[in-house]
Amino acid sequence: MRHLDIAGHGWYGFSINNLLIAPSVSNTAKTKSSVVVTRKLPEAVETRMMELFDVHLNVDDHPFTRDELVSAIQTCDVLVPNLADTINAALLAQSGSKLKLISNFGNGVDHIDVAAAHKRGISVTNTPDVLTEDTADMAMALIIAVPRRLVEGARLIREGRFKGWSPTHMLGHRMWGKRLGIIGMGRIGTAVARRARGFGMAVHYHNRRRLHPDIENEVEATYWESLDQMLARVDVLSIHCPHTPATFHLMSERRLKLLKPAAYVVNVARGEIVDEAALIRLLEQKQLAGAGLDVFEHEAGVNTKLLAMDNVVLLPHMGSATIESRINMGEKVIINIRAFMDGHALPDRVLPIQG
Ligand code: DGY
């Protein structure tokens, strides 16, 4: 059997008039696992899930309430949540004995109490790798968009305020030759570093562990063991570490103040890593030049002070929002559930953070 790839290239069924027909699979004779998916997924993913599992889909795409989550974890074998669902210890305490796998639709698992799940014998998986390049593209887009004033310029045209070219109009700052500081040099951070080299930026990074020299050499990156020391030297800071208890407000007011007043902050990771109130204060006081934010401390209600700032580009958590990424993420979810059902090692198992 070929690799299960519902993105289209390696689909092992066949297509008639755009209807995807999958061959029967060995487990169809067995009782299918009951799977609850908390938000709407791309059609190809949902179609495949319906073929493989006894799946409950979220047809009208509403955010699950706490009660719906409780009911789901009491009745299903597998929960497929996303980053907007808080799966904490209190919620998990209400799960029945049926729930055995949380197959997260997403890479970050900061909304799941992985340790509490493990204590209850519930495995957790995520969807790494497949969203790396798209998320890195979005970070790079912000790294250019903020200093070159792309959104401001586009707005000016649409509002009919463009009266013709002039030498001093809409001047931004060049990124070529500038220093990019990356916090978190994992898959996404490294993918951003590669792009930044293509844009002529010098790459600096802070990471828990120094990279292998081959990767460091490839992106000509300078490692800073001390985050504080790196901050004072960079022109743009791009954040790519996971949100954990250790990285909550890693970019505190004290650290934000170490950046140059001409520096920009870009965050496509998690809002909680930056003290957002302090960031806003420093932007207001012109102690920072601007920010590109795809994530916020409170995503359901973005701070209105940010909306009023021209030197801030705001996006609605779109880093991995390509149809390709989302289908690949769904494929990972399916593969993890299948591996679980068949008693294999879970390809993307997430273990609790060691203290
Ligand atoms: C994730 O998967 O954690 C992302 O933030 C969603 O794009």
The pLDDT assigned to 30 comes to 64
Q: What percent of the chain has pLDDT over 90?
A: 89
Ligand 1 center–CA 272 separation, angstroms: 14
Contact 295/265 with Cβ under 8 angstroms? no
Average pLDDT over residues 56-69: 98
Average pLDDT over residues 296-301: 93
Ligand 1 center–CA 149 separation, angstroms: 26
Model confidence at 355, pLDDT cuts 50, 70, 90, reads low
Q: Identify which of 45, 57, 49 has the alpha carbon closest to the alpha carbon of residue 8.
A: 45
Ligand 1 center–CA 350 separation, angstroms: 15
Number of the ligand 1 atom closest to the C-alpha atom of 320: 7
Residue 35: strand pairing partners: 55, 78
Q: Give the three-state DSSP class for 15.
A: strand
Residue 22 has pLDDT above 70, yes or no: no
> What is the C-alpha to C-alpha distance for residues 325 and 319, in angstroms, rounded to an integer?
10
Average pLDDT over residues 116-145: 98
The pLDDT assigned to 254 comes to 98
Model confidence at 6, pLDDT cuts 50, 70, 90, reads very low
Model confidence at 24, pLDDT cuts 50, 70, 90, reads very low
Residue 36: strand pairing partners: 56, 79
> Which of 125, 131, 138, 327 to mutate for ligand 1's pocket (most ligand atoms within 8 Å of CB)?
131
Active site residues: 270, 299, 317
Ligand 1 center–CA 14 separation, angstroms: 31
Cα pseudo-dihedral 27, 32, 37, 42, rounded to 10: 40
Residue 97 has pLDDT above 70, yes or no: yes
Between strands 14-16 and 19-21, the pairing is antiparallel
The pLDDT assigned to 31 comes to 81
Q: Which protein residues are within 6 Å of ligand 1, measured from CB?
A: 83, 106-108, 131, 319-320
- What are the structural domains of the chain? 14-128+322-341 (3.40.50.720), 132-314 (3.40.50.720)
